[in-house]
Every structure is written in structure tokens, then in C-alpha cells.
């Protein structure tokens, strides 16, 4: 297929595809999905070999959020029966992080619900970062605390935070239909604050919220312009009790095409297979490793993921290897710039089916427009509970 040959050549040269080419990847048929995966896999192997980076989430504060993000089980007005608790102490949070590191995680992601941290919250998280680094000197720590105020990024960096996550989630044109309590520009500003403070930027998207192909391409091109070091690709987990509980618009093939498009647009960036992979890719998860070079190990913030040992077995069975602590994730040309302290890379900055309206394709042939409680398991273990974590 001429399109795929062109995209492979561009990816190997780190050349940006055109919007038309990115749209064409999403428009390929299910019959062509293996060809699409094979092509994007060549780009992935060029820059990341067969390494898979493991990341581990620690939910520092669950639920109780004043924001109205429609996709989120922790949102204002959510009726999802998730765990709700206030801030974990830094010792408890450090123990939770240690479980992930013991399971093979190279990066620990500290996440807290809310619009953004207070200065007291920054102090609290800083102590947690310091406690984690004392136990595991080489572990990467990424903070995800919402919108940042002036000076907070610098304080987190001084405490030892290596990265900051703040996702763009969807296109600027459709953002107001998903969230009304903050703007797309607010999110961009926070990512740029993190970069300016010397942290590695982590920013991605959520697919499956009813967006068009054009919306997906728009948000990925916006990410390319922002130039984060890592791009998490989340697939909507439609929690019962949230406004998007009936949005079952993804198939495994659709998810693979989305990941391939992201890889072609961001060839040398850490593409992370994030929330919802078990729900939507299911038995086709191993194919996604040919596109993404990074995954979350174990559970997510409010939902359960695949067993950690199953993640490790999947990686090995698919012919990949877990990235070690002594290995630099990013290609040399990106890692050198990141090490210089800008947290990003020159150029543009210092980090649903078919076109138009979505054609619903519910998982496992379920009736369109119904909640799927059988595929979404609420997290009941790990942080905030007395049960051991899944790592």
C-alpha cells in the first residue's frame, strides 16, 4: 500500500505526515489492519527496538473532584461507585509505589483528583516524591495533579519530579462539549509550565468519546506541536454513572488504527498504551505492543486492569522485553535535549469510526447505547484499601 510505505519512510526520517495521510490511516479497513500494524511497527522498532517501558499508577486522592469532565468517574456529580478517599500519607503512597517498582515499573505516576493542587498539596506531594526516591533512587516519578499555578512546577521539579502529566484528551474544537469547568488552553498552559520548569512533559488523549476522525487527528497534531516526551493513548472506560457510560464506539481494530496513527505522527516519542486497553483491545492487546513502547502495569486510578503477571507474560510471549532501569527510554537525539533541562524539544515547542459522525460498534456485539458493566471492573484493591495492589 503506497500510503503505508510513504508513512514508514517519513517515520524513519522523523518527518511529519500530512493531515490527509493521518486521516487515511484511520479510514483503512479491518482487512488492512495487520498491514497497518506491520508498517507502524517498523517505525516503533527504529526508535525503541523491542523494549516496553512499564509505568505504575498511584492514586493519591480518589474522587471528590469539582471538575465536570464527562469521561471521568471522579467528576462532579459522578454516580460511579468508585473508591473515594482523601490524600494518602507519604509513607503509604511510597509503599504503594514500591509495589509497582518491585513488579518491574520504571516510572511511578502520582495522580490526584481535583482542579489543581494548593501550595499545601504541592508540599504533600513533594514529601511523597522524596520518600519514593529515598527507597528507589533510579525510579522516574511523574506527577499528575491537574492545572498548575505559578511556581508550582518549579517546586515539584526541585522535589525530584522527573515528569508532569496533563492530557489534552480531545480536540480543541470539541473540548467544550466534554468539559466546561476549564478549557483546552488551560491544559496546554499547564504542559508548557511543566516543560519550562525542566520536567519531561507527558500529554495524551482519550479515544472513544464520540469524536470524529478529524478530531483525533487534530488532537494528535496539537500534541505533536506541543512536543511532549510521552503520549499516553487512553481508550474511554465508560463507567456506569457518568455521562459517557453508553459510549461503546471502539473495536480492537479501531484501537489499533488509532495507535498506528499516533505512532506515525509522533514517531520518536514514547507512545503509552494506557487506560482502557483491556476493555477495548482485549485479546488483541499483544498486537498493540508493535505500536506502543510503553504500558501501565496493573490497575488504573479507579478501575482494575489486567493482572501484573499477565502483563509481563504478554510482553514476553509477544517477543518484547521489559525496559530496564539503566536504559534510556527516548532516542538519543531526544534524550540529549531532555537532559539539558527544558523538558521538551525545539521546533513547535519545548511534547467514532470513519469520517464525520461515529458509527457505533459495540464490544462483543452488545446492543448499541447500553452500559457495559461486564467489561468495567471498579478498583477495590491497592491504594486507599487494606488489600494488596495489583503489580
* 318 and 49 Cβ atoms separated by less than 8 Å: no
Please indicate whether residue 353 is annotated as part of the active site. no
Please indicate whether residue 272 is annotated as part of the active site. yes
Please indicate whether residue 255 is annotated as part of the active site. no
* 330 and 323 Cβ atoms separated by less than 8 Å: no
Q: With CA atoms as reference, report the closest residue to 331 among 44, 16, 7, 6.
A: 44
* 328 and 162 Cβ atoms separated by less than 8 Å: no
> Grid coordinates 517498523 are at which residue?
42
Catalytic-labelled residue, pool 187, 272, 277, 379: 272
* Residue set of the binding site for [4Fe-4S] cluster: 65, 69, 72
Q: Give dist(CA 58, CA 363) in Å, integer.
A: 29
Catalytic-labelled residue, pool 44, 65, 277, 334: 65
Catalytic-labelled residue, pool 75, 107, 142, 334: 142
The full 3-state SS of the chain, as one line of letters, equals: CHHHHHHHHHHHCCCCCCHHHHHHHHCCCHHHHHHHHHHHHHHHHHHHCCEEEEEEEEEEEECCCCCCCCCCCCCCCCCCCCCCECCCCHHHHHHHHHHHHHCCCCEEEEEECCCCCCHHHHHHHHHHHHHHHHHCCCCEEEEECCCCCCCHHHHHHHHCCCEEECCCECCHHHHCCCCCCCCHHHHHHHHHHHHHCCCEEECCEEECCCCCHHHHHHHHHHHHHHCCCEEEEEECCCCCCCCCCCCCCCCHHHHHHHHHHHHHHCCCCEEEECCCHHHHCHHHHHHHCCCCCEEECCCCCCECCCCHHHHHHHHHHCCCEECCCCCCCCCHHHHHHHHCCCCCECCCECCCCCCCCCCCCCHHHCCCCCCCCCCCCECCCCCCCCCCCCC
Catalytic-labelled residue, pool 109, 266, 350, 353: 109
Catalytic-labelled residue, pool 75, 124, 157, 202: 202
Please indicate whether residue 266 is annotated as part of the active site. no
* Residue set of the binding site for [2Fe-2S] cluster: 109, 142, 202, 272
Please indicate whether residue 144 is annotated as part of the active site. no
* Residue set of the binding site: 65, 69, 72, 109, 142, 202, 272
Task: List active site positions.
Answer: 65, 69, 72, 109, 142, 202, 272
Amino acid at each position: 500500500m503506497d500510503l503505508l510505505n510513504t508513512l514508514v519512510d517519513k517515520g524513519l526520517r522523523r518527518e511529519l505526515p500530512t493531515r490527509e495521510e493521518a486521516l487515511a490511516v484511520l479510514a483503512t479497513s479491518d482487512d488492512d489492519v495487520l498491514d497497518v500494524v506491520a508498517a507502524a511497527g517498523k517505525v516503533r522498532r527504529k526508535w525503541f527496538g523491542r523494549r516496553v517501558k512499564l509505568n505504575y499508577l498511584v492514586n493519591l486522592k480518589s474522587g471528590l473532584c469539582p471538575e465536570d469532565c464527562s469521561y471521568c468517574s471522579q467528576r462532579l456529580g459522578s454516580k460511579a461507585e468508585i473508591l473515594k478517599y482523601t490524600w494518602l500519607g507519604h509513607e503509604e503512597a511510597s509503599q504503594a509505589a514500591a509495589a509497582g517498582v518491585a513488579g518491574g515499573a520504571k516510572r511511578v505516576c502520582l495522580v490526584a483528583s481535583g482542579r489543581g493542587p494548593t501550595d499545601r498539596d504541592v508540599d504533600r506531594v513533594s514529601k511523597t516524591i522524596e520518600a519514593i526516591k529515598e527507597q528507589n533512587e533510579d525510579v522516574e516519578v511523574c506527577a499528575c495533579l491537574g492545572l498548575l499555578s505559578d511556581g508550582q512546577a518549579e517546586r515539584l521539579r526541585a522535589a525530584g519530579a522527573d515528569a508532569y502529566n496533563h492530557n489534552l484528551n480531545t480536540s480543541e474544537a470539541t473540548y467544550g462539549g466534554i468539559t466546561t469547568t476549564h478549557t483546552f488552553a488551560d491544559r496546554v498552559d499547564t504542559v508548557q509550565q511543566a516543560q519550562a520548569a525542566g520536567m519531561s512533559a507527558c500529554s495524551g488523549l482519550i479515544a472513544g468519546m464520540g469524536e470524529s476522525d478529524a478530531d483525533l487527528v487534530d488532537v494528535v497534531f496539537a500534541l505533536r506541536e506541543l512536543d511532549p516526551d510521552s503520549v499516553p493513548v487512553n481508550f474511554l472506560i465508560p463507567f456506569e454513572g457518568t455521562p459517557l457510560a453508553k459510549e461503546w464506539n471502539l473495536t480492537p481494530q479501531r484501537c489499533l488504527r488509532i495507535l498506528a496513527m499516533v505512532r506515525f505522527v509522533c514517531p520518536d516519542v514514547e507512545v503509552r498504551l494506557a487506560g482502557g486497553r483491556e476493555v477495548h483491545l482485549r485479546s488483541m492487546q499483544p498486537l498493540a505492543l508493535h505500536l506502543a513502547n510503553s504500558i501501565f502495569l496493573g490497575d488504573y486510578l479507579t478501575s482494575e486492569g489486567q493482572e501484573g503477571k499477565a502483563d509481563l507474560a504478554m510482553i514476553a510471549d509477544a517477543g518484547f522485553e521489559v525496559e530496564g532501569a539503566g536504559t534510556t527510554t527516548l532516542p538519543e537525539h531526544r534524550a540529549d535535549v531532555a537532559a539539558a533541562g527544558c523538558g521538551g524539544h525545539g521546533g513547535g515547542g519545548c511534547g467514532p469510526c470513519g469520517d464525520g459522525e461515529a458509527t457505533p460498534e459495540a464490544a462483543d456485539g452488545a446492543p448499541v447505547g447500553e452500559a457495559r458493566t461486564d467489561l468495567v471492573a471498579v478498583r477495590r484493591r491497592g491504594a486507599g484499601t487494606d488489600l494488596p495492589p495489583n503489580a
